[in-house]
Amino acid sequence: MIHWRQKVLDLFQAPFSHLTLVSDPDQLLDDELIVSNLKELKLIKFQDRASFRFEYESQNKKPDQSVNLIVVSYSEDLGDLPYDLWSTAQKVELRKSWLFPELAAHVVRQLDTRTLDVLSGVTTEGNLSSERATIDYILRHIYGLAYDSVYSLTDCLLLIMRWHELKCDIPDLIRQYLIEFLDFRITDFPVQEWITSYHAFVQYLQQEWNGFVDGEFPESHVFWDPYVRSVIGMLFTEGVLSPVLIKKDSFPNIFFWGISYDTKRHKQDMIKGLQRQLETLLANANDRRTWIQIARLYGKAKCISLELQIEINDGALLAEMERKVETCFEQWLTEHYGALATLTDRNAPVMVHKAVEVLRLKVKDKIALIVCDGLSFVQWAQIEQALDNDFQCEVHGSYAWIPTLTSVSRQSIFSGEMPRFFYDSINTTAKEEKLWKTVWERNGVPSVYVSYERGLGQGAYERSNIATLTKSKTKVAGLIVDTIDQLTHHTIQGQLGMHVAIAVWLKQGYLQALLTDLIDQGFDVYLISDHGNKESKGVGRANDGNLPETRGERVRVYRDVVLRDQAAVQYSSKQWSGTGLPDDYHVLIAQSGEAFVREGEIVVSHGGASIEEVIVPFVHIKKR
């Protein structure tokens, strides 16, 4: 069977048309592997007319090069596009339904690309054109869920554990079908809540485990089932479930992972478990979602490692894994980063400048976006622990702009644009408020209902100091908490010193109080970071006078590509391609773990392209 991506790529073969219009309501071209294979073509999304026209004209009128353009519309009717394009272009229509015509079209249209990947590798048999037959086939053969074999609580728990392990976005239609089926079979438990909320399911397992240990491991309990025990053990190893602290060491050895009488050993075991997961993921890390998983797991492992360094002064726990992750990430980033900028995902912004687009689709009366400047997944793991008792966090990831500078990546969040579109302010954040209000006005929210605040997170929390909370008419709020970034630039003890300082800050409760007040006032609250940070060692200061436009500890920016390339010869560095950046914005970044500072000096900084700087949290936060 021809893979679905190849069927799509077959429509874009040389000789290329100078201009191709694509109707893509199913967003098949929002796939980084397809986009990466269309490097000879320039893709432009038709969403906002003004931005589109600017991008189209800038690409179409370059006298020194011939550009073959693909203009992608999410509309089913290409007649919505400007007539001067429509009248001369080649036209292509993409639909998921013609990729898998034997299945119910309205179900297939809701499937994500990971599910399509599995579908491409199997052969369908029989009549599957009805909605019920298609859903049944997908549940059994694609998701691997023998849902009609569920008769007991043990069966149900195993199936729901498998459900939450699925690495794909499951359509509501399929989710509801499964809920209705299981509700009929398992009547005494909140199956719907367990399926729709991973947090609720984990909370149930944690409560059951606590009672299981307190009851001295009763043999009738479901946790003795070897299959349940195997999955539960992984949840403890991953840090999803917390072990119960006991004073004695006489317990069934098969449950060692869920018992804690030696916290240091438990943390070391958690790091080993996370390293095993990272090894598995790295073996097949070929898409953006897998790298977000890796960033999150690595961040959690490094956070635990920092806790152990405080206790036992061992800084080498993750050194080899860090080198392997960074080497693999650099290779993947070089090949695929350029394909990310135009991609869309309904759950989280693929790149941070898509945050407004994602929030707009949430259709909530009041939305607050907290931009936690400089927050990496390492620090998020620490913050998530502090929030766990009072808040429920749905964690996703997003890609920052490179160079990972505040004026570049944070400004892209507030403008909703690639950096090339705010060329005149790329070295400052002074225009963020105006850009934030402008982008929401384009999306139908008058500026009088939009607020912007910066410099939050310092000192004692005072509700009266948060303008968003004192103005009742605010519908969209952008709030910058820059504590992490401030700590980054002032730490003298590396990330270990940051970890200690963040712990102090979290104990003061500023972030928790801000979240509580926003939620209590009716805001749907999201948190995002503009870039992360990286502990690095100095390789020597560059001696290039006043040539760079921007100097950072891990990045230098030049207006002239020749000057950039000359500087690259002088010291350990990497020339960055400039995806999405202004034409005369030429970037030189430090190698992973290195900085353009005095040789041997340890700093925590940003600007480069390490996984800790580039992949950042995007989190939906609710009260428990």
- Compute the distance between CA of residue 186 and CA of residue 427 in angstroms, rounded to an integer: 59
- Which pLDDT belongs to residue 316? 62
476: pLDDT confidence band, cut at 50, 70 and 90? very high
Residue range 250-259: mean pLDDT, rounded: 84
Sorted by sequence, the CB contacts under 8 Å of residue 24 that are 6+ apart come out as 72, 73, 74, 94
123: pLDDT confidence band, cut at 50, 70 and 90? confident
Phi-psi region of 17 (alpha: psi -120 to 50; beta: other; left: phi over 0): beta
Q: Which of 297-301, 527-531, 579-583, 618-622 has the lowest mean pLDDT?
A: 579-583
60: pLDDT confidence band, cut at 50, 70 and 90? low
pLDDT tens sequence across 505-531? 999 999 999 999 999 999 999 999 999
- Which pLDDT belongs to residue 8? 94
- Compute the distance between CA of residue 614 and CA of residue 405 in angstroms, rounded to an integer: 10
Nearest to 104 by CA among 138, 155, 77, 71: 138
**Same-domain status, 374 and 474:** yes
Residue range 468-484: mean pLDDT, rounded: 95
**Same-domain status, 436 and 551:** no
User: Residue 71 sits in a domain of what CATH number?
Assistant: 3.40.50
**Same-domain status, 357 and 396:** yes
- Which pLDDT belongs to residue 92? 93
User: Residue 523 sits in a domain of what CATH number?
Assistant: 3.40.720.10
Reported residue count of the chain is 624
Nearest to 396 by CA among 451, 439, 440, 359: 359
pLDDT tens sequence across 429-446? 999 999 999 999 999 999
- Which pLDDT belongs to residue 268? 83
pLDDT tens sequence across 78-105? 888 888 888 888 999 999 999 999 999 9
Q: Decide if pLDDT at 611 tops 90.
A: yes
**Same-domain status, 377 and 511:** yes
The verdict on residue 344 lying in a domain is no
**Same-domain status, 356 and 469:** yes
CB 96 within 8 A of CB 36: no
**Same-domain status, 11 and 88:** yes
- Compute the distance between CA of residue 414 and CA of residue 433 in angstroms, rounded to an integer: 7
The domain boundary, picked from 316, 338, 360, lies at 338
The rounded percent of the chain whose pLDDT value lies above 70 is 96
- Which pLDDT belongs to residue 78? 87
The domain boundary, picked from 315, 338, 361, lies at 338
Q: Decide if pLDDT at 63 tops 60.
A: no
The verdict on residue 26 lying in a domain is yes
Tokens for 357?
């687009």
Q: Decide if pLDDT at 73 tops 70.
A: yes
Sorted by sequence, the CB contacts under 8 Å of residue 327 that are 6+ apart come out as none
Q: Which of 215-229, 251-265, 304-318, 474-488 has the lowest mean pLDDT?
A: 304-318
The verdict on residue 100 lying in a domain is no
Question: How high is the mean pLDDT of the chain?
Answer: 90
- Which pLDDT belongs to residue 574? 92
The domain boundary, picked from 196, 224, 241, lies at 196
The rounded percent of the chain whose pLDDT value lies above 90 is 64
Q: Decide if pLDDT at 315 tops 60.
A: no
Residue range 556-568: mean pLDDT, rounded: 89
Q: Decide if pLDDT at 449 tops 70.
A: yes
Q: Which of 13-17, 49-53, 338-342, 402-406 has the lowest mean pLDDT?
A: 49-53
**Same-domain status, 8 and 130:** no
The verdict on residue 431 lying in a domain is yes
Domain ranges, residue 129: 105-196
pTM of the model: 0.87
Q: Decide if pLDDT at 546 tops 60.
A: no
The verdict on residue 99 lying in a domain is no
The verdict on residue 343 lying in a domain is no
**Same-domain status, 283 and 322:** yes
The verdict on residue 482 lying in a domain is yes
The larger pLDDT score, comparing residue 36 to residue 476, is at 476
Residue type, 617: P
pLDDT tens sequence across 200-247? 999 999 999 999 999 989 999 999 999 999 999 888 877 788 888 887
Phi-psi region of 45 (alpha: psi -120 to 50; beta: other; left: phi over 0): beta
**Same-domain status, 492 and 418:** yes
The number of folded domains in the chain is 6
62: pLDDT confidence band, cut at 50, 70 and 90? low
577: pLDDT confidence band, cut at 50, 70 and 90? confident
The verdict on residue 550 lying in a domain is yes
- Which pLDDT belongs to residue 61? 60
CB 425 within 8 A of CB 411: yes
Q: Decide if pLDDT at 544 tops 70.
A: no
Nearest to 352 by CA among 523, 558, 532, 169: 532
- Which pLDDT belongs to residue 311? 67
67: pLDDT confidence band, cut at 50, 70 and 90? confident
pLDDT tens sequence across 165-193? 998 889 999 999 999 999 999 988 999 99
Q: Which of 266-270, 347-351, 399-403 has the lowest mean pLDDT?
A: 266-270
C-alpha dihedral (59, 61, 65, 70), degrees to nearest 10:
40
**Same-domain status, 191 and 205:** no
**Strand order across the 615-623 sheet:** 391-399, 615-623, 524-528, 367-372, 476-481, 450-456
* Neighbouring C-beta atoms of residue 139, cutoff 10 Å: 21
**Same-domain status, 480 and 416:** yes
65: pLDDT confidence band, cut at 50, 70 and 90? low
**Same-domain status, 579 and 618:** no
490: pLDDT confidence band, cut at 50, 70 and 90? confident
